[in-house]
């Protein structure tokens, strides 16, 4: 019997009776102040998702002698893969008690999770987890870049400190022609009748925008009203997000979700999520740069995997940091049993559209990425 097969014994889905023991496990290994230990977060992430798993909560536990020694969680979602949509899952919150690590529990939990749907995706995993995924045959999509637009050079450079990131930011801040280009693009978008409109929550306009924008990308998670309402309007941290439609003549051209964050003492604007109609990516980000400047942000940041991003954002003065501000946000994916024909599509990072609204990486502090 293989190590994984042995370790899979004792793995099962969360049951209501597991609640007290799991809460104690979360407090011990994630921390009493972690979001995993927050009952509101637990209810939202597991019980309120717009596309729940009919088999039950996507929370697998490994027990030994009746005690929880490991867990693997998933966020079920709908993934557009070419011309069809399949049931997929983001892999999150893998945790194994220290005394049970390197004994096959972690790989067995991820294997159990990966065998339950059409596609499983994991973002921003640790180095050991990443190596384990690759050994298990997952598709390595590289890392999700961070695009940075310097607005206040002095504040941005103080936040960056020393090192390669500071050098890159300094180079970007020294290109006033690109600053003029961004301002010109924002002005041009305004002349075309486009303007950012802040809203309290997402409405039916986001469904029309999804239908118009989705065909551009072969692989992306569904971003309709149901998802946006759940992800931003009803999440425990909803108050942190500002929601914008880019409107032209009463029609939505794009949406963007922005939060103001702190980066080593500097205020920065972070684009958590966005989606734009064909031809509207650059005007949208030009308007967001203008909004961030108005809000007094030192920089505008966006972590995204999008084949069109570099071509659209570089002329606006954005720098592309392939490994993020501090460390790489790695991306791996795997088709489930019966969906092996999707592997060529999933294995090409140019097919993917990802932001920090995907999986749980947007819950982390800016300094983590």
DSSP per-residue string spanning 43-105: IIIIIS-SS--TT--SEEEEEETTEEEEEEEEEEEEEEETTEEEEEEEEEEEEE-GGGTTTTH
Q: Do 3-117 and 146-326 show the same overall fold? A: yes
- Check: CB of residue 266 under 8 Å from CB of residue 155: yes
CA distance 123 to 312: 24
Tell whether the model's pLDDT for residue 19 goes beyond 70. Answer: yes
CB-based contacts of 54: which residues, under 8 Å, 6+ apart?
Answer: none
Q: Mean pLDDT across the stretch 41-52? A: 96
Task: Determine the pLDDT at residue 190.
Answer: 60
Most confident region among 86-90, 259-263, 358-362 by mean pLDDT: 86-90
CATH homologous superfamily of 3-117 equals: Gcn5-related N-acetyltransferase (GNAT) (3.40.630.30)
Place of tokens 């071509």: 311
Place of tokens 């950012």: 196
Closest CA to 244 of 192, 268, 209: 209
What's the chain's length in residues? Answer: 369
Q: Mean pLDDT across the stretch 103-112? A: 92
Tell whether the model's pLDDT for residue 355 goes beyond 50. Answer: yes
CA distance 5 to 346: 27
Task: Determine the pLDDT at residue 326.
Answer: 78
CB-based contacts of 233: which residues, under 8 Å, 6+ apart?
Answer: 201, 202, 243
302-329 pLDDT, tens digit per residue, is 999 999 999 999 989 899 999 887 788 9
Task: Determine the pLDDT at residue 339.
Answer: 97
Indicate the pTM of the whole model.
Answer: 0.90
Between residues 3 and 309, which one has the greater pLDDT? 309
Task: Determine the pLDDT at residue 369.
Answer: 45
- Check: CB of residue 172 under 8 Å from CB of residue 347: no
Residues of the chain with pLDDT > 90, as a percent, come to 73
Tell whether the model's pLDDT for residue 104 goes beyond 70. Answer: yes
What are the residues facing 334 on neighbouring strands?
Answer: 120
Tell whether the model's pLDDT for residue 263 goes beyond 80. Answer: yes
Task: Determine the pLDDT at residue 53.
Answer: 96
What is the average pLDDT value for the chain, to the nearest integer?
89
- Check: CB of residue 355 under 8 Å from CB of residue 302: yes
E strand segments, 264-311: 266-276, 299-306
What's the distance, Cα to Cα, between the start and end of the chain in Å? 39
Place of tokens 């960056």: 160
CA distance 116 to 143: 25
CATH number of 146-326: 3.40.630.30
Between residues 209 and 9, which one has the greater pLDDT? 209
CA distance 313 to 322: 14
Tell whether the model's pLDDT for residue 211 goes beyond 80. Answer: yes
**Domain extents in the chain:** 3-117, 146-326
Q: Work out the number of other CB atoms within 10 angstroms of the CB of residue 73.
A: 24
Helix, strand or coil for residue 358? coil
55-73 pLDDT, tens digit per residue, is 999 999 999 989 999 999 9
151-204 pLDDT, tens digit per residue, is 987 777 676 665 556 545 555 554 544 555 555 555 566 656 789 999 999 999
Residues of the chain with pLDDT > 70, as a percent, come to 86
Task: Determine the pLDDT at residue 367.
Answer: 41
Closest CA to 360 of 138, 118, 46: 46
Closest CA to 224 of 207, 203, 202, 242: 207
Between residues 177 and 342, which one has the greater pLDDT? 342
Task: Determine the pLDDT at residue 158.
Answer: 72
């Amino acid at each position: 019997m293989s190590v994984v097969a042995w370790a899979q014994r004792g793995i099962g889905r969360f049951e209501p009776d597991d609640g007290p023991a799991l809460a104690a496990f979360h407090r011990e290994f994630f921390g009493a102040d972690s979001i995993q230990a927050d009952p509101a977060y637990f209810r939202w992430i597991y019980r309120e998702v717009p596309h729940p798993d009919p088999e039950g909560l996507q929370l697998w536990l490994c027990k030994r002698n009746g005690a929880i020694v490991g867990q693997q969680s998933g966020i079920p979602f709908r993934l557009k893969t070419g011309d069809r949509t399949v049931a997929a899952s983001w892999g999150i919150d893998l945790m194994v008690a220290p005394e049970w690590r390197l004994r096959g529990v972690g790989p067995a939990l991820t294997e159990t999770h990966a065998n339950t749907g059409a596609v499983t995706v994991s973002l921003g995993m640790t180095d050991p987890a990443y190596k384990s995924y690759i050994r298990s045959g997952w598709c390595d999509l590289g890392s999700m870049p961070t695009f940075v637009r310097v607005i206040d050079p002095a504040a941005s450079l103080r936040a960056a400190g020393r090192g390669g990131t500071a050098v890159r930011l300094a180079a970007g801040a020294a290109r006033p022609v690109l600053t003029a280009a961004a301002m010109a693009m924002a002005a041009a978008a305004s002349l075309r009748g486009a303007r950012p409109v802040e809203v309290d929550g997402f409405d039916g306009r986001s469904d029309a925008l999804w239908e118009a924008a989705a065909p551009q990308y072969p692989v992306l998670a569904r971003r309709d009203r149901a998802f946006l309402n759940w992800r931003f309007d009803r999440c425990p941290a909803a108050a942190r997000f500002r929601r914008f439609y880019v409107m032209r003549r009463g029609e939505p051209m794009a949406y963007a979700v922005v939060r103001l964050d702190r980066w080593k003492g500097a205020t920065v604007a972070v684009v958590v999520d966005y989606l734009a109609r064909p031809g509207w990516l650059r005007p949208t980000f030009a308007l967001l740069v203008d909004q961030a400047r108005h809000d007094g942000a030192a920089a505008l940041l966006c972590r995204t995997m999008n084949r069109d991003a570099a071509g659209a954002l570089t002329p606006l003065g954005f720098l592309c940091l392939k490994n993020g501000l501090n460390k790489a946000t790695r991306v791996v994916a795997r088709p489930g049993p019966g969906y092996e024909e999707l592997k060529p599509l999933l294995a090409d990072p140019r097919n993917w559209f990802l932001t920090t609204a995907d999986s749980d990486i947007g819950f982390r502090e800016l300094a983590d990425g």
